[in-house]
Structure 1
Amino acid sequence: MKKIRGFEIVSKYENEELLLPKRATKGSAGYDLTAAVDITVPSVFKALRMNNQSETNPMSSTLVPTGVKAYMPDNEYLLLANRSSNPMKKQLAVPNGIGIIDADYYGNEGNEGEIFVQFINYGLEDVEISKGERIAQGIFSRYEVVDDEEQTFDKRTGGFGSSGR
């Protein structure tokens, strides 16, 4: 049977006992993505208070690795949405609102197509995310293109954020 869409573990996590994303219920649109590692998402307010001693940008985002990649037909993308409980319970927001994983992100040279979830912590304290904790949802969606599209496309040559210049 030919595979059309799904998830695979990224090679660097093959021996880390990660689980592939799955839907929580039959009616769930999204596949639950989990963290591949334990990671801290620092509070932007805590960082602002300490910024006098640091050269780092206190408003920077944290990329949380999932250890998985998604394959799909060329006319689809994987929409990454924050879990609805993250803003209320953990003060975690996805700074660009949603994430888009393009079909040609799979298997790219930059990171094999590993999916990362970008977070900013607007709470007063750092947030600890544990390996295996559900952090986002992935929803496969179709898209359309305009008639008579006359354009040559570059080949994707990198990982996260590589389709724009």
Structure 2
Amino acid sequence: MNIRIINKSKNSLPAYETAHAAGMDLRADLDAPIHLKPMERKLIPTGLYIELPEGFEAQIRPRSGLAYKYGIGIVNSPGTIDADYRGEIKVLLVNLSDQVFEINTGDRIAQMVIARHEKAIWQQVEELNETSRGAGGYGHTGVA
């Protein structure tokens, strides 16, 4: 699938790092390093602008290595970029650790997955079909 992109950053275009990767790494595009304090959140620019085809979204997800090693996540994970959005892609990072985390231009801060989606059409009814789960919610199947 071809996706139109404008790259105003100092970085190369997002790319798949392995043959079977679902996500492409997004890199920070900064004028100066950002120091993300513990429990602080900041919007990190990427310098990228995309034009997705109708029926697709770009999901912005945390990088597992940043989460595990440094406690860095994304507040609204996964973030969604809709097909009609034309602004700069920015990533809302949060520092869940007890240490300051430095972000520099070129650092891989998130991953982007392009996904097809459907439009729902509501059909209002008075009752729903029964299932074996029923209304069982949070924790209803236990831990073990």
TM over 0.5: yes
Can you give the 5+ residue segments of structure 2 that lack an aligned partner in the other structure?
123-144
Distance 2:11 2:6 in 1: 10
Secondary structure of 2:53's partner? coil
Q: C-alpha offsets along residues 116-164 of structure 1, whole Å, 9 cap, x if unaligned?
A: 111111111210011101111101001111348xxxxxxxxxxxxxxxx
- Which residue identity does 2:99 align to in structure 1? E
Pairing partner for 1:129 from 87, 90, 103:
103
Secondary structure of 1:103's partner? coil
Report how many aligned residue pairs link the two structures. Answer: 121
Pairing partner for 2:17 from 24, 27, 33:
24
- Residues 90 and 123 in structure 1, CA contact (< 8 A), matched pair in contact too: yes
Determine if the alignment matches structure 1 residue 99 to structure 2 residue 97: no
- Residues 37 and 95 in structure 2, CA contact (< 8 A), matched pair in contact too: yes
Runs (4+) of structure 1 exceeding 6 A deviation are: none
Q: CA deviation at 1:25?
A: 1.2
Provide the identity percentage. Answer: 32
Q: CA deviation at 1:6?
A: 4.4
Residue aligning to 1:118: 92
Distance 2:5 2:107 in 1: 17
Distance 1:83 1:73 in 2: 25
TM-score (norm 1): 0.67
Residue aligning to 2:35: 40
Richer in strand (by share): 2
Q: More displaced, 76-85 or 18-27?
A: 18-27
Structure with higher Rg: it is 2
Secondary structure of 2:84's partner? helix
Secondary structure of 1:85's partner? helix
TM-score (norm 2): 0.76
Richer in helix (by share): 1
- Residues 63 and 73 in structure 2, CA contact (< 8 A), matched pair in contact too: no
Alpha carbons of 1:65 and 1:131: their partners in 2 closer, same or farther (altered >3 Å)?
same
Residue aligning to 1:5: 3
- Residues 79 and 140 in structure 1, CA contact (< 8 A), matched pair in contact too: yes
- Residues 68 and 115 in structure 1, CA contact (< 8 A), matched pair in contact too: yes
Q: C-alpha offsets along residues 62-108 of structure 1, whole Å, 9 cap, x if unaligned?
A: 111111122211111100010011111111111222110111112xx
Aligned-pair Cα RMSD in Å: 2.0
Pairing partner for 1:64 from 18, 38, 44:
44
Q: CA deviation at 1:8?
A: 2.1
